[in-house]
Amino acid sequence: MDWYQTLFELIDMRSFSNLWFWIVLAVVWSTASHWVLGVPYDMVLRAKRQGGQAEVDLEDMVRINVNRLLYIGQVSGLWLAGFACFFLTLLGLTGFVYGMEFAQAVFLLAFPLSLVGMLGLSTARLIQAEGATGELLYKRLNRQRLYTQLIGMVSIFVTALWGMYQNVTLGPLGG
């Protein structure tokens, strides 16, 4: 047995039967729902509870992140959208047409995150257009977090179903 085969037996390259993939999936969605428009959600809760300087800090941080997101969207948004669509199409075709499990796993992570990204850009535009502060800002950030969590739950459910299907169909050793 050569070192290459030993290495790939030690590190299972199949995604859906690999514990590390499921850990990454959980961490990605936990992180995505904690950081709302680049602002940690505990900061939103603290500002809502305490007001004062915590609220000023939150509004400043949201303003900075909203302006940053909108600037990136205006300057290079079309290019980023084109590359993202190309990348997702490449992953989708490689994974689901040609049967590469790693590409399927990355697609099932990246596609829902792209939806969260588009939703975040939409929320940033809304916050800037309304000049949202105080209760309206909390409402927008809470709604963004709720939608992110809903997309995450659906994504985890679909990924788990597809992963179970792959493991049952291919078996534990990959067919």
d(CA 170, CA 166): 6
pTM for this prediction: 0.85
pLDDT tens column, 15-65 = 788 888 899 999 999 999 999 999 999 999 999 999 899 999 999 999 999
- Backbone dihedral angles phi then psi of residue 99, each to the nearest 5 degrees: 75, 25
User: Distance of alpha carbon 45 from its chain centroid, rounded?
Assistant: 22
pLDDT tens column, 49-107 = 998 999 999 999 999 999 999 999 999 999 999 999 999 999 999 999 998 999 999 99
> Terminal CA-to-CA distance of the chain, rounded, Å?
20
